[in-house]
Amino acid sequence: MKPPSGQGIRLAYLLLNLASLCRPTPLWKDRDSLMQQEKARQTGGNLVLSRQEQQLSTKLVSLKKKEVATAIATGQFPPSMHFFRAKGLIDQSTVFSILKRMPKGAVLHLHDYAILSVDWLVYNATYLPDCYICFTHTGTVRFHFSKPHPPHPVPAQCSQWVLLETYRKQLRNVTEFDHSLLRNLTLVTDAPELAYPSQTLIWKRFEEVFLIASGLICYAPVFKAYFYQGLLELYEDNIQYVEIRAILPPVGDEDEGHSLWDLKDALTIPYSLGVNLPYFFHAGETDWQGTSVDNNVLDALLLNTSRIGHGLALIKHPVAKSLSLKKDIPVEVCPISNQVLLLVADLRIHPAADLMAEGHPIVISPDDPPIFGAKGISYDFYEVFMAIGGMNADLRTLKQLALNSIKYSAMLPDEKAKAKEVWQKKWDQFVADLSDSFLKDL
């Protein structure tokens, strides 16, 4: 058989090129449909807004795009920055000012010794009579209320107890001393990367803050006033309901503790007695994959948890994620906590972004706001709206998150109905007031 001539080769090449021109073109006509399908699946995607809500949503998204454009130009996008550096920028945000006014429903993940700004503890609790202080060898403090003098021995690594009222009288600069007490009660620092170079170190400091605060908060007169002021601060952030988690020391860093599997025998005792306890487990607050702690997300679901606290590891477990969706078990997302405790540096890539894109049930929570230098939950909502939810997050997203917080609370059905009714009135007023203010600006 003769080999093909040069002319034959050129003809074959021409035919191949012509064939490529006959291939079907990309199905661009399906692009809009596919994008709409994605939008419908995301958090709040199926909510139908009123005309006034839709107008407000358009304005809010426009403000977000403007802030993002500024961030791109300046290289300073708050959710991609450490919160200690970003907070000042967030405070100046128009979007944030709107979110502060928004009725946010319920806070479902908040610890009892971290519900109120630490300023109140320093400038009120530490000025009460019979408040003693001791100084540790590591530069921190402990507090104790006692009458007469506190009993010995003093806490480990601590100096002798000194009456704080007497100590302040000996100081030249009481203001600076009080500022040092504020620093003892938060993690806030100008250089977080230098102060907390590892999760181990920041967790050690984080847990110590609770020990310091407990010496003040556990005093009955302070305890009562602390919770009243804390609830007032949450109310001022437009929160209508709160579920507070009691701390059981040394419960803390999930990676350092026992897994749920280790504790299964104790945790299943109620079932053997015919009691169905409504568990609310922290689970998956870890970056490690394939560890016993990493499996907590699955074990929490098997133990019939009502919600999953943090749940960063959930997206690494497709079976657990599918099960949580099937059982309608939400994840309590605490973005600022996750960032400060070195689990997620840039909140644009927070695991909850995946959950929100799929419409997985979630609720937004602040975890321990005063320790992070925040108040209430508005800062966390800002991070979610600006970054975790992406540019597609709009008023429907915010509305769904607020509704979720009531739906997935521990309230009884009739209490949820009443809470939703109260929230709806506040929401309608929020939309009306904001719409009026926008019209005045035009």
CB 242 within 8 A of CB 107: yes
How high is the pLDDT of residue 162?
94
**Residue 363 has which token pair?**
């609720």
How high is the pLDDT of residue 19?
53
Q: How far apart are CA 302 and CA 296, in angstroms?
A: 10
Distances from the Cα of 207 to the Cα of 153, 200, 275, 307, angstroms: 22, 11, 33, 24
Asked if the model's pLDDT at residue 2 lies above 70, the reply is: no
Work out the burial of residue 400: count CB atoms within 10 Å of its CB; fewer than 13 is exposed, 13-18 middle, 19 or more buried.
buried
* Confidence tier at 291 by pLDDT (50, 70, 90): confident
Tell me the pLDDT tens digit for each residue of 177-189: 999 999 999 999 9
- For the domain made up of 51-115+230-441, the CATH class stated in words is alpha beta
Tell me the pLDDT tens digit for each residue of 204-232: 999 999 999 999 999 999 999 999 999 99
Integer-rounded Cα Rg, in Å, for the chain is 27
- With tokens 């053997």, the residue in question is 272
- Provide the mean pLDDT of the chain: 91
**Residue 393 has which token pair?**
């997050």
Average pLDDT, stretch 166-178?
97
- Smallest CA-to-CA distance from 366 within 352, 381, 386 is with 381
* Confidence tier at 152 by pLDDT (50, 70, 90): confident
* Confidence tier at 442 by pLDDT (50, 70, 90): very low
Domain with CATH 3.20.20.140 in the chain: 51-115+230-441
Work out the burial of residue 78: count CB atoms within 10 Å of its CB; fewer than 13 is exposed, 13-18 middle, 19 or more buried.
buried
**Where is average pLDDT lowest: 98-107, 283-292, 334-343?**
283-292
Average pLDDT, stretch 47-51?
96
Average pLDDT, stretch 148-158?
77
CB 419 within 8 A of CB 106: yes
**Three-state SS string across 334-390, please?**
CHHHHHHCCCCCCHHHCCHHHHHHHCCCEEECCECHHHHCCCCCHHHHHHHHHHHCC
Q: How far apart are CA 442 and CA 438, in angstroms?
A: 7
Work out the burial of residue 154: count CB atoms within 10 Å of its CB; fewer than 13 is exposed, 13-18 middle, 19 or more buried.
middle
* Confidence tier at 438 by pLDDT (50, 70, 90): confident
Q: Between these two residues, 249 and 84, which has the higher pLDDT value? A: 84
Average pLDDT, stretch 62-74?
97
Q: Which sequence positions are flagged as catalytic?
A: 285, 310
Distances from the Cα of 374 to the Cα of 94, 278, 381, angstroms: 17, 29, 12
- The sign of the dihedral angle between the CA atoms of 60, 64, 79, 41 is positive
CB 402 within 8 A of CB 224: no
Q: How far apart are CA 199 and CA 344, in angstroms?
A: 11
How high is the pLDDT of residue 149?
85
How high is the pLDDT of residue 265?
93
* Confidence tier at 155 by pLDDT (50, 70, 90): confident
Q: Omega of the bond prior to 148 within 30 degrees of 0, cis? A: yes
- With tokens 């015919």, the residue in question is 274
Asked if the model's pLDDT at residue 5 lies above 90, the reply is: no
Asked if the model's pLDDT at residue 360 lies above 80, the reply is: yes
Average pLDDT, stretch 260-289?
91
